[in-house]
């Protein structure tokens, strides 16, 4: 049985393709989670479905 080098294993399409898909999923999930944490954009239409959040932003800040 032939012993394969690390370059042969890392260069094989059956290793590269799943790794590329996994890396893409990690990047997408990271961007999605960042959007939720910062709430600068409406991730998953959360704000559109939340009437209290919409009213709070339309009225401005309340004076305590």
- Write out the chain's pLDDT in tens, 64 residues: 888 888 888 888 898 999 999 999 999 999 888 877 876 666 667 666 777 766 766 765 655 5
- Local structure of 28: helix, strand or coil: helix
**What are the backbone angles phi and psi of residue 59, rounded to the nearest 5°?**
-80, -20
Residue 16 belongs to domain spanning: 6-59
Look at residue 17 and tell me if it is in a domain: yes
Distances from the Cα of 5 to the Cα of 11, 12, 27, angstroms: 10, 11, 29
pTM of the model: 0.56
Look at residue 64 and tell me if it is in a domain: no
CA–CA separation, 12 vs 6, rounded Å? 10
Q: What tokens were used for 54?
A: 């919409």
| Tally of domains in the chain | 1
């Amino acid at each position: 049985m032939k012993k394969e080098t690390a370059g042969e294993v890392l260069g094989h399409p059956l290793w590269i393709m799943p790794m590329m898909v996994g890396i893409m999923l990690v990047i997408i999930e990271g961007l999605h989670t960042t959007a939720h944490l910062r709430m600068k954009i409406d991730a998953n239409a959360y704000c559109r479905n939340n009437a209290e959040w919409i009213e709070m932003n339309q009225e401005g800040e309340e004076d305590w």
